[in-house]
Each structure stands twice: as C-alpha cells, then as structure tokens.
Chain A
Amino acid sequence: MPKLLIDGKEIEVSEDVTVLQAAEMLGIEIPVFCYHPKLSIAGNCRMCLVEMEKSPKPIASCAMPVCEGMVIHTQTPMVKKARQGVLEFLLINHPLDCPICDQGGECDLQDITVAYGGDSSRFGLNKRAVPDKDFGPLIETAMNRCIHCTRCIRFATEIAGVPELGATGRGEEMEIGTYIQKAITSELSGNMIDICPVGALTSKPYNFQGRSWELSHTPSIDVLDAVGSAIRIDTRGREVMRILPRQNDNVNEDWISDKTRFACDGLKYQRLDRPYVRGKDGRLHAVSWHEAFDVIADRLQHVPGDHIAAIAGDMMDAEAMVALKDLMMALGSPHMDCRQEGVRTGVGPRCSYLFNTTIAGIERADFCLLIGTSPRWEAPLINARIRKNYLFTGLPVALIGHFHEQGYPLDHLGNDPFLLERIMKGKHPICAALKAAKNPMMIVGQGALRREDGNIILSLARHIADKYEFVHKTKSHSFEYWNGFNVLQTVASRVGGLDLGFLPGPNGYAVGEIIQAIRRKKIEVLYLLGTDEIEMKLLKSAFVIYQGHHGDRGAAIADVVLPGAAYTEKDGTYVNTEGRIQRGLKAVSPPGEAKEDWKIIKALSERLGFEFSYNTLDEIRERLVEINPLFDEIDCVQRTQWREFGQEGVLCSDPFRPTIKNFYMTDSISRHSVTMARCTQEILADKQRVSSYD
C-alpha cells in the first residue's frame, strides 16, 4: 500500500485510490465540479488542481492515482493561482444570473467562487449563448449556465443506463444535449438535477418555487416503493416543497427515483382534512371526530366480532398496523390482511418474503435470474444496483416473464411458468450457467406471486435455489454468507405488515375471502386502512370505514371517512423489501383535522371501550418490539434462517403478468400528482410504452 504525504500529513491508502480521495480521507477539502464519487472520472473541469513535488505543472487530483512517496501540497500560492485561473475561465461564459437562478444558495460554482473567484470580471466580450434543451417534464434547463462538467452525461450513461445525453460540437460550440430533443426516458432522471453543480439542470416542478435557505429539512424514508430510500423532506411552512435523496449506501446510494422525488405535489391535492359520514342521501357529510366515532360505535354494537374485517394499505406505517391489529383482536375478529392485491404468499418464514441478498449484496452476485419482475419499474434503485454490477463485472441477467427494457442486456428465456420446472429438472440451457455461478441470485417479482399458483411458484423457486446453491447454508455466520433468494416487494408497508402478522388469524379470511364473505353477508363491517387498490364496487354492500390521507378509491365508497396522515406528516416505522427497519420523521402537520394514523385507531378503540397498553409513540414502539423483537433493530438487516416454504402443486400455464402498468402512478399520492400525470403523458405516452406494456 503506497504511502504519501499530503500537506505534511502522512497517509497510507490502497493503490486504487486517487489523490483527491486520499486527501478527503485526511479531511482536506479540494474543490471539484466534474468529479463525483459515484461516477467515472472525467477530469475535465481542472478545478481540483494540486501541486505535486517533482512535477513541473499542477496535477488534477481527481484523476491521479496515488503512488509511493508522492508529496502533495493543496494550499500553496501556486495551487491557489491555478484554481483561480480555472475558475476565471469557467466564469467567462457563465451568466451572472444568480439572483434568478434556482440553484442559488446550493450552487457549487457559487460556493467555490466565494473561495477562488476574483472581485470583477476581466472578460469584456459577449458571453456565448446556448439554446435551452427540452429534457421532458421533470428537468428544466438553462444551458447558458452549463460548465460542461459532463456529470449528467455520465450519470445517464452509467447509472441510469440510458445513453441519451451527449456533448455535441467542440470547443466553444460544445453543448450538452440529446440526439433528438425529447424527454429522458429514465426513472432516475431527477438525480441529474442533484449532481449538476450549477443551475443548468434544475427541477421543473420546483422552478421558482422557493429558495434553499427558506426550507426546513427533515430526514425521512420514502414509502412509494418497497426500497425504503433515504430521503430529505424540504418544507416551507406547512407545505412539502421538494424531496431530495439522502445518502445511504446500503439502500439508495445517492439516488432516488423520479416518483419518490416528484410525486410530493400529490400531497397537496384531494386530501382528506376532516372526518366524513355518509348520510341517508348517499353523500358524504363533514362531521366532527366525535360524531364519526359515534356512528362507528353504533354500527359495531350489533355486529359480532367475526363479521368485522380489516385490510391494511400499501403505505401504512407499522405503528398504525399494530394498533389496528390490536383493535381487531379486541373486537374478536381474525379477518385481517395487509396484502390488498390478493397475493397469497408471505405467510411462511421471513426468508420467503424478503430480499435476502440485500440491496448492497447485489454487487457480489455473479448471475441474476429475474422471475416475473421488472425491477426498473418496481424498484428503480434495485435495478440501478443490478446495472452497477453489470457495468463492473458484466453480470449476466436472465428473465422469465414479461419483457421490459431494463437498461442492461437481458437474456429473455420466455414468459412461461413451466420454464421454472424445466430449470429445476436441469433441462434448460441456462442450468449450466446456474451451476457454474458462485453467487447466483434470483429475484421473484410480484408478477410471479400475484396469481392463484403463487405459492407453488414460490416453492419451485425455492427448489431451484436449493438445487443450484443459491443459499450457502454452511457459512451462515461468516462474512462470506450468501443468500441469493429474493422476493421483490413493491409496496412499502408489506414486509412490516407480514413481520407484525397483520394476516388472517385462525379461521380468518384473506383479502379474496373477505370480498366473497361481504357478498354472503358474513362480513358486515370492513375497516380499510389506507387501502385503495381493491376493486371497490365489490365492497359496497359492507359498512366501510376508510382511514387514509387521500380522497381516492377507498374514500369514494366509504360510509365513514377518517382523515389520516401521509408519510411526510407522521413519525412512522417502515420495513423495506430487504427487511431493513427504518424510521421516517414527521416533517409537517397533517392538514385540517387529520391525525396520525395510530392515534386515530387508539382513540377509536377507547371510544369502543378497549384499553391498550400504549399512549405515546415510544409505548406503541415498545408494543412493536413485543410482537416482533426485530423492530428493536433500527437501520439494519437481520440475517434470516433458510427454511422450507411454499406449496407443491400444479402450475397454471398463464404467462406472468406485469405488476405495474404505469410507473408514475401506483398509489393514492402519485395518482394525484400533477407532475406524475405529466410524466405519464409525455414520457410514457410518447414512447407508447403504456400500450405495449398492457
């Protein structure tokens, strides 16, 4: 390992480190524009120049690998002069429009100019003018401000896997653009806004909406898919202004998906801000909390406990689900389910519904088999990891299921469940590759499980995992342990609900049976906890209590509507698809009279005459731990025991169906987002991918 001296401090680092990284390890800051830790090195901005002894010229520290005996100086007059020169050239063509630029206040160029800029410009000629580009409904461009760092090009090419951006022309005529002006067709495109060091790429929906220094920041967790990306909620007053990623290398690295980032304007529209009760005229009337609870209590009075059912929705926090579970048990009902779309898997051991490899673990895989899934839409950040592995090691990926472009080469084996049987029996050409792989992984998607024979497919997948050693059972305690069996969940509340056992109790009904029981009048009262994805007309004959934050499908047929809080408005615990328990923080208060969800259920329980052991957030979290001790381990993934699961049986020959029809609209928040509607129109409709996907 080479030893080098930076500013008189000695450091020993491995050979694949650059001078810039070594300096960072010592806490020495070097200004950069084009360098980004998650992208390839370009070395074209020259801002990171440092002095190296025995070198006649300053060197670009971001591109210079460390060597034994190097002596680096980062604070000499020569370095300062070199950086000042570079910055002066960068500013030659950069407009002086900071007062009207959205990047103002969080702009690298602004900050570095404070450190290295001159007091006035020596450039007397006209600045060059570059026409703005159309990058679609999410990214606003002001190409005059571009300093050609090429971060966006590298991001699109490397991380997003859509080589659509490039630098055309040369010299003074160089411009960043696309081949034909069109929206960028990536689900991660919003990250280009973050990595742009200047105001050339800014957020279109947030355009001229606010200044960075007016915003309060709350670290939280995303709930629009099951990845559980770390986010920062930026608020002004009671409004969520924007959502940005927080770095979490175990989950989302530095990125978030466009839905996570841009669907937050859906939080402003169609919100439930007061309780409603359906009157005799068939319309919903605004009432007080007391009146709403009275109506529920009256209705429940004459209903036996086992004629009540509850279904939990996709974005619910664990606290609300545990409160509702306690209420249902107190009422004497075993009929509850957190799998609203009717999937039957998830009742087995924990390893049967988790992404066991972990998201960061994908980087160690050497073969990937996708079964009935399109990670690009179901979990864009997991897809980015698969692509990362593909870029670095050429990971071979095979797919059984509906074909959808993923951003890396796919070996499409077909869309036939019987392929699984052939692979299990070793009668498929892919078997050789599976056998040869040391760390093979498979991702079983909801497209494969959300069917009548879901449990049979799960069992087949387990047999394949056993046969081809997807799980290294013997090394269960070592660092080298590998579990390549993964189920990709698509909704944020699912693993939490399964971990808490928000499932049918003894003789309890699952979602499908609840719907049938409603028709037979065996279920009279149905409690929907943020449940919006069921065919609602099947539920109409029951007395429906809907608790949630949006006036969406559930509220439309409800008899009583209880206004809850969206994920930005409550402290909640969520478990992502890996089984990672994470906590989101409250950024703003819920609108109007809406309350945090577990508190509503708790208050209703009290009105119904039940006493629970918890009154505060801490106490209900103790209750979580009581039900499942895993909830004590925040931010980490517990290794699961590999056990038997699934069910033997006869496969159905229907092909796997795609899980998501429209990436931009999957839940009650994104369905009410204007930005997401625009994306659907401009990005999907343009490419006519919606129709091809159906």
Chain B
Amino acid sequence: MKKSAPKKDRSASSSSIEDLKTFSFSKENEERVEEIIKRYPKGRQASAILPLFDLAQRQCGGWLPKSAIEKITERLGVSLIRGYEVATFYTMFNLNPVGRYHLQICGTTPCMLRGSEDLKRVCQRHLGIECKETTEDGLFTLSEVECIGACVNAPAIQINDDYYEDLTEESFLKLLKDLEAGLEVKPGSVLGRQGSAPLEKESPC
C-alpha cells in the first residue's frame, strides 16, 4: 500500500469534510446529549463539554471537526476558545480525520522495551504509513501514544476502543491483515491470556 500525506486522505475517512462543514448531532445522539447535559447541576452545564466532544467524535468516525466544537460550545454557552483549549489539550480528541482503525501504538518505556518499535516498523512496511498518517484507502491511521496502562501485557496497542496485547511482529501483521480482510478480531491478549494471568505452560515464579 502506498503512503500519502494525511491531508489528501481526508476524503477517505468515514465522513467527508464536506459533510462536516455544518455538524449536528444525529437524532439518537441528540437524545443522549440531553441526557448528558442533565447530569450536571444547574449552572455547571459547561462540564458536559468532554462527554459531548466524545459523542461528537464517535459520530464523526473518530475525529472532532471544528464545526462540532463550534456547535457544542454554543450549546453549552462556553466561548469558542475555551472549547478549542479543551479539544487541543486532550490528545484523545483527533482534530484531523482518522482512518476506520486508529492504531495507537504505546511507545512508553515498558512497551518500547518489549518491542513497540518493531510494531511501528510493521506498519511502515505493511501499510506504508508513518506516525500521524493515514492509508490511502482510509482504513488505518497510525499514532504513537503515551502509556495506555497495559504494561503487564506489553507491547500493547489500542485500536479504536480496544486493546490488543502481547503482540509480536507476526501476530500484529496477522491482526492488520484480518482487519483489512474485514474478519472479526478478538481484543485482549493475542496469546489468549485472561487479563495478565500466567500462561498455562509457564510456571508461576
């Protein structure tokens, strides 16, 4: 697969830029918005900004367009720049379109020692993308993230909402191929561990 600059790939994401010039919540999300806002005491509605951004990001296929920030800040009575501050502060809000599978490779020390650099190379070789780039078909976006808290099963990677752990170059390549083929993949440890319990053949130390 050929690598290309992320800008060109915008149209390939699940919802195109054109659609998002004017963002609005879908009908069912609109109900959830009401419910989320109601959780906060009167006068504190601005606190709903994080869940609403998250909801909007999910609706937009993994990224948060500016029009959504504008819509939500207006609705909560927060100034635009305050919303933009929040959206840029939290790294899990993507301000540019991402592919259907957002590969978030943990690059913090334990994962790095256990081979996260190798996983990144798999992406470069197999998908032809570097960090912050999206494949031309709009399937994958690669990012390196800080510790995702799965050090016990390092190296770990987060794809959209799910963790895939205990990866090796081979198992990660298979995972990518399965995703490309549209096969169902099982989250968690690829070795089949339950949580971080020892494998049967290993003796507890």
Contact A164 B88 (CB under 8 A): no
Among B81, B88, B89, B91, contact of A163 (Cβ-Cβ < 8 Å): B81
Q: What 1/0 mask marks residues of chain B from 59 to 89 whose CB sits below 8 Å from any chain A CB?
A: 0000000000000000000011110110011
> A169: CB under 8 A from chain B?
yes
Contact A164 B85 (CB under 8 A): no
> A9: CB under 8 A from chain B?
no
Q: How far is the CB of A150 from chain B (nearest CB, A)?
A: 11
Which residues of the partner chain B approach A170 to less than 8 Å between Cβ atoms?
88-89, 91
> A85: CB under 8 A from chain B?
no
Contact A165 B81 (CB under 8 A): yes
Task: For the complex, give the distance between the alpha carbons of A179 and B84 in Å.
Answer: 7
> A636: CB under 8 A from chain B?
no
Contact B89 A179 (CB under 8 A): no
Q: What 1/0 mask marks residues of chain B from 147 to 188 whose CB sits below 8 Å from any chain A CB?
A: 000000000000000000000000000000000000000000
Contact B82 A168 (CB under 8 A): no
Contact A178 B81 (CB under 8 A): yes
> A360: CB under 8 A from chain B?
no
Interface size on B, residues (CB 8 A): 9
Q: What 1/0 mask marks residues of chain B from 86 to 97 whose CB sits below 8 Å from any chain A CB?
A: 001101000000
Residue of A nearest to B88 (CB): A168
Contact B81 A179 (CB under 8 A): yes
Contact A169 B80 (CB under 8 A): no
Task: For the complex, give the distance between the alpha carbons of A179 and B80 in Å.
Answer: 7
Contact A164 B89 (CB under 8 A): no
Q: Which of A177-203 contact B (CB under 8 A)?
A: 178-179
Q: What 1/0 mask marks residues of chain A from 144 to 175 whose CB sits below 8 Å from any chain B CB?
A: 00000000000000000001111111100000
Task: For the complex, give the distance between the alpha carbons of A163 and B78 in Å.
Answer: 9
Task: For the complex, give the distance between the alpha carbons of A164 and B81 in Å.
Answer: 6
Task: For the complex, give the distance between the alpha carbons of A120 and B80 in Å.
Answer: 42
Task: For the complex, give the distance between the alpha carbons of A166 and B73 in Å.
Answer: 14
Task: For the complex, give the distance between the alpha carbons of A29 and B88 in Å.
Answer: 37
Which residues of the partner chain B approach A168 to less than 8 Å between Cβ atoms?
84-85, 88-89
Which residues of the partner chain B approach A179 to less than 8 Å between Cβ atoms?
80-81, 84
Task: For the complex, give the distance between the alpha carbons of A165 and B81 in Å.
Answer: 6
Q: What 1/0 mask marks residues of chain A from 276 to 311 whose CB sits below 8 Å from any chain B CB?
A: 000000000000000000000000000000000000
Residue of B nearest to A175 (CB): B88
* A164, A166, A167, most chain B CB atoms within 10 A: A166
Contact A163 B79 (CB under 8 A): yes
Task: For the complex, give the distance between the alpha carbons of A179 and B70 in Å.
Answer: 10
Q: How far is the CB of B68 from chain A (nearest CB, A)?
A: 14
Q: How far is the CB of B100 from chain A (nearest CB, A)?
A: 27
Task: For the complex, give the distance between the alpha carbons of A169 and B84 in Å.
Answer: 9
Task: For the complex, give the distance between the alpha carbons of A167 and B83 in Å.
Answer: 11
Q: How far is the CB of A153 from chain B (nearest CB, A)?
A: 9
Task: For the complex, give the distance between the alpha carbons of A169 and B80 in Å.
Answer: 15
Among A165, A169, A178, contact of B88 (Cβ-Cβ < 8 Å): A169
Which residues of the partner chain A approach B82 to less than 8 Å between Cβ atoms?
163, 166
Task: For the complex, give the distance between the alpha carbons of A178 and B89 in Å.
Answer: 15
Q: How far is the CB of B205 from chain A (nearest CB, A)?
A: 38
Q: How far is the CB of B74 from chain A (nearest CB, A)?
A: 12
Which residues of the partner chain B approach A167 to less than 8 Å between Cβ atoms?
85
Q: How far is the CB of B94 from chain A (nearest CB, A)?
A: 14
Q: How far is the CB of A174 from chain B (nearest CB, A)?
A: 9
Which residues of the partner chain A approach B88 to less than 8 Å between Cβ atoms?
168-170
Task: For the complex, give the distance between the alpha carbons of A446 and B82 in Å.
Answer: 36
Which residues of the partner chain A approach B79 to less than 8 Å between Cβ atoms?
163-164
Q: How far is the CB of A177 from chain B (nearest CB, A)?
A: 8
* A163, A164, A179, most chain B CB atoms within 10 A: A179
Which residues of the partner chain B approach A163 to less than 8 Å between Cβ atoms?
79, 81-82
Task: For the complex, give the distance between the alpha carbons of A480 and B165 in Å.
Answer: 72
Which residues of the partner chain A approach B85 to less than 8 Å between Cβ atoms?
166-168
Q: How far is the CB of B44 from chain A (nearest CB, A)?
A: 15
Residue of B nearest to A169 (CB): B88
Which residues of the partner chain B approach A164 to less than 8 Å between Cβ atoms?
79, 81
Task: For the complex, give the distance between the alpha carbons of A170 and B84 in Å.
Answer: 12
Q: How far is the CB of A522 from chain B (nearest CB, A)?
A: 58
Q: How far is the CB of A78 from chain B (nearest CB, A)?
A: 32
Which residues of the partner chain A approach B84 to less than 8 Å between Cβ atoms?
166, 168, 179
Task: For the complex, give the distance between the alpha carbons of A164 and B82 in Å.
Answer: 8
Task: For the complex, give the distance between the alpha carbons of A164 and B84 in Å.
Answer: 11
Q: How far is the CB of B33 from chain A (nearest CB, A)?
A: 22
Residue of B nearest to A164 (CB): B81
Which residues of the partner chain B approach A165 to less than 8 Å between Cβ atoms?
81
Which residues of the partner chain A approach B89 to less than 8 Å between Cβ atoms?
168-170
Task: For the complex, give the distance between the alpha carbons of A631 and B11 in Å.
Answer: 73
Residue of B nearest to A156 (CB): B81
Q: How far is the CB of A212 from chain B (nearest CB, A)?
A: 32
Q: Which of A423-455 contact B (CB under 8 A)?
A: none
Q: How far is the CB of B35 from chain A (nearest CB, A)?
A: 28
Task: For the complex, give the distance between the alpha carbons of A168 and B82 in Å.
Answer: 9
Q: Which of A333-361 contact B (CB under 8 A)?
A: none
Task: For the complex, give the distance between the alpha carbons of A166 and B87 in Å.
Answer: 12
Q: How far is the CB of B11 from chain A (nearest CB, A)?
A: 24
Task: For the complex, give the distance between the alpha carbons of A168 and B85 in Å.
Answer: 5
Q: What 1/0 mask marks residues of chain A from 236 to 250 whose CB sits below 8 Å from any chain B CB?
A: 000000000000000
Q: What 1/0 mask marks residues of chain A from 528 to 542 whose CB sits below 8 Å from any chain B CB?
A: 000000000000000
Q: How far is the CB of B101 from chain A (nearest CB, A)?
A: 25
Q: How far is the CB of A460 from chain B (nearest CB, A)?
A: 35
Q: Which of A498-530 contact B (CB under 8 A)?
A: none
Residue of B nearest to A173 (CB): B88
* B80, B81, B82, B89, most chain A CB atoms within 10 A: B81
Residue of B nearest to A166 (CB): B81
Task: For the complex, give the distance between the alpha carbons of A271 and B81 in Å.
Answer: 43
List 22 contacting pairs A-B, 8 Å CB cutoff, sorted by A.
A163-B79, A163-B81, A163-B82, A164-B79, A164-B81, A165-B81, A166-B84, A166-B85, A167-B85, A168-B84, A168-B85, A168-B88, A168-B89, A169-B88, A169-B89, A170-B88, A170-B89, A170-B91, A178-B81, A179-B80, A179-B81, A179-B84
- Which 9 A/B pairs are nearest by Cβ-Cβ distance? A166-B81, A163-B79, A168-B88, A166-B85, A179-B80, A179-B81, A170-B89, A169-B88, A179-B84
Given A163-B81, A169-B89, A179-B84, 9 more pairs with CB closer than 8 A: A165-B81, A166-B81, A166-B84, A168-B89, A169-B88, A170-B88, A170-B91, A179-B80, A179-B81
